[in-house]
Structure 1
Amino acid sequence: MKKIIITILIVLCIVIAGTSAYAYHIIREPLVENYTEASNFVTSNELLQSIDSVHYYHGTTAHYVVKGLDEDGNEAIVWVKDDFETVHYRKASDGITYEQAFSIAERALGERQIEQIRLGFTRGVPVYEVMYNEANQRKGYYYLTFDEGAFIKRYSIRNITG
């Protein structure tokens, strides 16, 4: 009887793990397809010659942020709205770097621990979104313009995992 229960538990664990992996794949598949579509859109419109990375950003509107090299070999960034109707192009040298964004945010946020910095698009401008932890179990977001690193907004939400 003990062997049967153990066998059933092992099979149940395998089924749950398999179902979870399958569900994750099914849920993630449209996003991966859209990454490919965004990459193809950017290269077919000759905005970038080669692509280094693509990520999805959902702020006030959803955008694909595509980094790569333009026709002159310069690093460039393209923000493509998720409907593929609106495109914003900037050379990486036209804005502040990740390191500069980190430095600006670090000075502004003081002792708070910066968790992540990523490019996004909000209020009609390219931005750096800085995610940080507050001392009171809150997750904070600090937004800087990509072009000159000017403060746009800051807000925090309660961290439900903590």
Structure 2
Amino acid sequence: MKKGILITSAVVMSVILVFSITLLMISQDPIKKAEKETVAIAKETAGLVKTTDFYWYNRDKTYFSVAGLNEADEEVLVIVAKDGGKTIVLNQDEFITEQQAKELTREDKGAVDILEARIGLEGDTPIWEISYKQKNGRLGYYVLTAKSGKWVSDIENI
């Protein structure tokens, strides 16, 4: 009897594990597809040869971005609009890095837990959106320009 319960439990756990892994893989498909398409556009428009980061920004509009090295071994950032495919290519000397954006957020917001950084466009301005968790457990978004690191907006207590 105990052996039957153990076998049944093992089978059920195996089915749950396989189902969970399958669900996870299916849920990742849109992200992988967006990244693959964005990298292809970046290779064509900016000569990207190595990708270091991928970002998915979604506010008023959706933008996909890749950072990496181009054929001249320069760091570039390519921002692609989901709708219409508008593409902006920035060289490293034209924008602040993700790390710099996070540091500027910490300087202004104090002891917050930085969750994620995303890059996109507000109008024609490239921006970093830094999501963070406040001491009270609520979320916030700190937005600054990608070119200068100048503060744009801050949404708190979400």
Q: Answer whether TM exceeds 0.5 for this pair.
A: yes
Q: Secondary structure at the match of 2:156?
A: strand
Matches within 5 A, 1:22-37: 22-37=22-37
Q: Secondary structure at the match of 1:55?
A: strand
- Counterpart in the other structure of 2:151: 151
Q: Distance in 1 between the 2:138 and 2:26 partners?
A: 31
Identity %: 24
Ranges in structure 1 where 5+ consecutive residues have no aligned partner: none
Matches within 5 A, 1:32-71: 32-45=32-45, 47-52=46-51, 53-71=53-71
Normalised TM-score (structure 2): 0.86
Report the RMSD for the aligned CA atoms in angstroms: 2.0
- 1:55 touches 1:64 (CA, 8 Å); kept in 2? yes
Q: Paired residues, what number?
A: 156
Matches within 5 A, 1:1-162: 1-45=1-45, 47-52=46-51, 53-83=53-83, 85-116=85-116, 118-124=117-123, 125-158=125-158
Ranges in structure 2 where 5+ consecutive residues have no aligned partner: none
C-alpha spacing 1:44/1:17, structure 2 compared with 1 (3 Å): same
Displacement of 1:156 after TM fit?
3.1
Q: Deviations over 1:61-103 (max 9, x none)?
A: 2111111223433211010112352111111211223343233
Normalised TM-score (structure 1): 0.84
Q: Distance in 2 between the 1:33 and 1:113 partners?
A: 30
C-alpha spacing 1:51/1:28, structure 2 compared with 1 (3 Å): same
**Structure 1: which 4+ aligned runs deviate by more than 4 Å?**
none
